[in-house]
Amino acid sequence: MRPNLNNLSGEKEALSLLELNTRIRGALSRAFPETCWVRAEMSDVRVNTSSGHCYLEFVEKNVQTGQLVAKVRGSIWAKTFRMLKPYFEMETGQMFASGLKVLVKVSVEFHELYGLSLTVLDIDPAYTLGDMVRKRMEIIRQLQEEGVFTLNKELPFPLLPRRIAIITSPTAAGYEDFMNQLTRNKGGYPFYTKLFPALMQGERTEASVIAALDRIYQHQDLFDVVVIIRGGGATSDLNSFDSYLLAANCAQFPLPIITGIGHERDDTVVDLVAHTRMKTPTAVAEFLISRMDSVGEELESLRQDVSLLAMDILSRQKNYLQLVATRFPSIVTSRIERNRSGLQTIASRLPAMASGLLSRRQSVLENTELRLRNGITSKLSESGRFIQLTEQFIKMASPDYILKRGYSLALKDGKIIKHASDLRAGEELTTRFIDGEIKSIIKP
């Protein structure tokens, strides 16, 4: 509205805010006289418990950046909401909650006080289903491109899956069914189970199950397989198992994962990446028991094979022993005859052999006797010469032999004096000759 320049008072012509909003309301009413269908994402969905009305926001985000590019308030009156919500959830299998893309039939309204809003009159579940399928296919394609989609399926399944890590809610009916089926197996197989509690429905399911996987990973050497089970609950709760983060964690987990989500509809993405997918927790328990049965049957087959082989070996040995027993007398007789002939030959040769041996021994003894005699004679001759030399040496070393040669011996107190320094003045000295001895006194 341009100001009126001819206004002498100088006041500008203006609209009140109410007038402006009233004109906007009229313009919108003329522009959107009827209802229209709108594509948008639901956000901030909340229900007034007293009135039953549902209030929410419809938003649109930039495909590349994820930033908001449009937003408007919305409302679903209680009468309409009571019909739309169960219809939508039954058709889509998803809870009527924030984050879903929807196609809704709305009337465009503008209130002078509350502004623009959309009143929902109808909803098309087929559009949401198509968007969910698209997102699901995008997640599967991303996992395949990253090369992790089949990693868990490629893990070798343990021969005896006895140590089981269980991810579920401890209060879930499916957990009780699983444990009853497992522990009461007809084969009496012992199973070791450990529960890792997790939320299996609601917005926190993804984070809770991933946290349980992280706890199992820290003790992976203690387990053979991981079981993810849930029983009962709304089909809409399965949306968490179509999560990329949860599916990526399961696909890359180092232990085989078995799922028993508990519904007959199309597999979730987690089912697709898991090593083995079963329909229910009870079916998971039956699968584990069947694996034990298979091993038991193989062992029984091996036992029977071993028994048959042992019986065959024993039978052959028995036949051989019987054959030996029938032939044993003739073998013994033949052997005795051969030995008797040998003994007779030895007996005929024994006198000559003994005579020759005795002759050789006698010759050896005679030679030995001769060598002993010669040796003794030589030894006695040598000993006689040694005695003569020793006797002559003793005679030459005796004092009498020395005195006979003209020498004398000086003695003091009966002991031979060898040095002059051994004598003192006044001491008596005895000098011995061949024909006697004399005594003398040492003078100073």
pLDDT tens digit sequence for 326-358: 888 888 888 888 888 888 888 788 888 888 888
pLDDT given for residue 237 in this prediction: 64
Q: How many residues does this entry show for the chain?
A: 444
Query: Average pLDDT in the 412-433 region?
Result: 81
Sheet holding 276-278, edge to edge: 192-197, 163-168, 225-229, 257-260, 276-278
pLDDT tens digit sequence for 168-206: 999 888 899 999 999 999 988 999 999 999 998 877 889
| Percent of the chain residues past pLDDT 90, beyond the cut | 36
What distance in Å separates the CA atoms of residue 75 and residue 55, rounded to the nearest whole number?
A: 5
pLDDT given for residue 11 in this prediction: 63
Query: Average pLDDT in the 417-426 region?
Result: 80
Which backbone phi and psi does 102 adopt, to 5 degrees? Answer: -135, 160
- Which helix (H) or strand (E) covers residue 165, if one does? strand 163-168
pTM, to two decimals: 0.52
pLDDT given for residue 1 in this prediction: 46
Q: Cα dist. 373→270, 379, 382 in Å? A: 112, 10, 14
pLDDT given for residue 270 in this prediction: 93
pLDDT given for residue 80 in this prediction: 94
Q: Would the pLDDT of 3 be above 60?
A: no
- Res. 236 pLDDT band, cuts 50 70 90: low
- For tokens 């069947």, the residue is 290
Average pLDDT value for the chain: 86
Please tell me which residue, 202 or 246, carries the higher pLDDT value.
Answer: 246
46 Cβ contact list (under 8 Å, min separation 6):
54, 55, 56
Closest by CA position to 238, among listed 193, 281, 201: 201
Q: Would the pLDDT of 32 be above 90?
A: no
pLDDT given for residue 265 in this prediction: 56
What distance in Å separates the CA atoms of residue 273 and residue 113, rounded to the nearest whole number?
A: 52
- For tokens 């209802």, the residue is 35
pLDDT given for residue 259 in this prediction: 94
- For tokens 């009527």, the residue is 96
Which of 5-9, 98-102, 204-208, 404-408 comes out lowest in average pLDDT?
5-9
Whether residue 155 contacts residue 279, with contact meaning beta carbons closer than 8 Å, is answered with no
Query: Average pLDDT in the 54-69 region?
Result: 87
pLDDT tens digit sequence for 388-413: 888 777 777 777 777 777 777 788 78
Q: Would the pLDDT of 229 be above 80?
A: yes
